[in-house]
Structure 1
Amino acid sequence: MTGLFWRRFKKNILKKTASFMIKSRKKPGQQRHIREWSDLPPELLSLIAECAGPFELRSFKSVCKAWNSASSTALAQIIETELNQGPWFLLFNDENSECQVLTGSCKKLTTSLPELNGISCLATYQGWLLLFKQGCGSMFFFNPFSRDMIDLPEFPDSELTDHVAAISCLPTSQDCVVCVISRSNDAELGAKVLYLGEDQEWTETKHSCSRVDIDTIKCAVYHIGKFFFFDHRTDRALTLSTENRAHNWMTQNIITRRGIVNAPGLFFFGMTELEKNLKNMKKKLGLTDQGVSISTCGTVTPSNGLPKFIFNESMSDHVDECKNRHFKGVWMQPKLKQNL
């Protein structure tokens, strides 16, 4: 158990715990009774679990079956409370393994995730992160809540620049499709697609598309059976259908009215989520010093019944990047069913 977990206990829980000491007091004529941790009453376990954050519950669950059950219930309650409060924001850098998380209601959590050292996040889906390690082509899924990891076949490119990715569904599903897209040159876009439940090999598809039509891709999402790719303008989208592994490309004009887009299924843009809130975000995350730059990975999150697209973006305090401390940020939308 981490020191952070124990420090978060509330006074009332400590008082209740005191009456359930592992070694009860010996009374005259009685033998000393040893109480096992697994024998703690369910109501007490629930109170203790509620004091832990979603990351501390990883340690809590490993004690025994009863604690595992209590941790699952507590995590479900935490996420359910936050579901309608907006997306969560994960902040990390390559200097150490400490990460900070702002929940949808802006509660600040701190945890250690060494798995993110030297890693770039390409996409998120319901709390799962699609991660890439530069220089070796290593790509994998990682769940920061459960610490589960799913390795993917080696990516064809060992270095990625301006690549954006999207995921069709949970990576635990055999139907999951991963798509990574980037601009090959001024006249062409290229996408690499992986079908997790099939032959586990990356396939490549290219599409003739000038920068006049679609500039550098800033957002990629899977919606109603297609991958949608957007640049910073949002007046048109490029779509890729992977049904039956037939890669069909289309360019779709989009009409935006008060942020709502006239497209199949309708969706809502939150393009500059960080830019609008950078000063406030820095304060909440404790980044009060000058010279900070943050590169973020966007996501899709529900908003008033519509899918809301948050684009990838980069923000900097100074034009000279060498003078900045660089952080990486990930927007994510946890769901109730987490694999604890």
Structure 2
Amino acid sequence: MTDWNAKLILSNEDVKNKDENGSTKDNIRASAVCKARREAAEHVRVVEKYPWIISFPTQGTLFDLFDPLQRKMYSLNLPDIAGMNVCFSKEGCLLMRKSSFVEFFFFNPYSRELISLPNCELPFQAIAFSSAPTSGTCVLVTLNPISEYLVAISICYPGETEWINMEFHVLLLLTPISIATLSMPMVTSTASPREVFYLTLIHLLAL
């Protein structure tokens, strides 16, 4: 049995239940061949959407993809992200961090598309992105409470060469609970690979 050091729930926006004429595994492989085949493969996938789970191995480059509805397991060879840390996932895309702790990039495990990001030099306690990096509306956000009344927020857009750093004074005392309400669904930078947090962005604009 494969040893896993992380499990993330992904939306099957890019990988649906099954295609009409073949298996999901074949459909995924077809998606990775070229743009034309990817578009054709995505077209025949079932429209229903539900979470899939991707498991990260402790060693090697084979990642397990589990369909909980069909109870089927698939394997993907992903050498581009082997041994790295995943910080966040949304709409089938992963936010990866290299061992340097300042180098980040987006990675789509189905299309193998990799989108580089500028180094994030400032410390943070949580990080997330709003939508798929290819959507045109994606924003990457980090959150770092500096003190009980001061919070630092950094934002970056795919394709930009630097982060925008801001500090905000807050009117309410920042406790662990209130910090959670300030952040969107995030994984803390110090969290173990199994810890995934689903929080809310609703109060972020109040800063």
What's the Cα RMSD here? Answer: 3.5
TM-score of the pair, normalised by structure 1: 0.43
Tell me which residue corresponds to 1:294: none
CA distance in 1, matches of 2:139, 2:66: 29
CA distance in 1, matches of 2:29, 2:144: 37
Tell me which residue corresponds to 1:51: 23
Tell me which residue corresponds to 1:166: 129
Tell me which residue corresponds to 1:200: 161
CA-to-aligned-CA distance 1:247-284 (integer Å, 9 cap, x gap): x51xxxxxxxxxxxxxxxxxxxxxxxxxxxxxxxxxxx
Find 2:44's aligned residue among 77, 82, 87.
Answer: 77
Q: Which amino acid aligns with 1:133?
A: K
CA-to-aligned-CA distance 1:124-158 (integer Å, 9 cap, x gap): 2211112111325111111111001111111124x
1:172-211 mapped onto 2 (5 Å cutoff): 172-196=134-158, 200-207=161-168, 208=170, 209-211=173-175
1:253-264 mapped onto 2 (5 Å cutoff): none
CA contact (8 A) 2:118 2:162 kept: yes
Distance 1:57 1:218, change over 3 A: farther
CA distance in 2, matches of 1:233, 1:74: 31
CA distance in 2, matches of 1:233, 1:179: 15
Q: Which amino acid aligns with 1:164?
A: I
Tell me which residue corresponds to 1:116: 81
CA distance in 1, matches of 2:75, 2:105: 23
CA-to-aligned-CA distance 1:12-50 (integer Å, 9 cap, x gap): xxxxxxxxxxxxxxxxxxxxxxxxxxxxxxxxxx84xx1
The answer to whether the aligner puts 1:126 opposite 2:91 as a matched pair is: yes
CA contact (8 A) 1:164 1:217 kept: no
CA contact (8 A) 2:62 2:75 kept: yes
Which protein shows a greater Rg?
1
Q: Which amino acid aligns with 1:166?
A: F
Q: Which amino acid aligns with 2:129?
A: A
The Cα of 1:219 is off from its aligned counterpart by 6.3
The Cα of 1:72 is off from its aligned counterpart by 3.6
The Cα of 1:240 is off from its aligned counterpart by 2.5
CA contact (8 A) 2:156 2:162 kept: yes
Over the matched positions of the two proteins, sequence identity in percent amounts to: 20
CA contact (8 A) 1:214 1:238 kept: no
CA distance in 2, matches of 1:136, 1:156: 9
The Cα of 1:99 is off from its aligned counterpart by 0.7
Aligned residue pair count? 173
Q: Which amino acid aligns with 1:131?
A: M
TM-score of the pair, normalised by structure 2: 0.65
| Alignment gaps of 5+ in structure 2 | 1-19, 187-196
Tell me which residue corresponds to 1:240: 204
SS of corresponding position for 2:80: helix
Q: Runs of at least 4 residues of structure 1 off by over 4 A?
A: 215-219
CA contact (8 A) 1:120 1:133 kept: yes
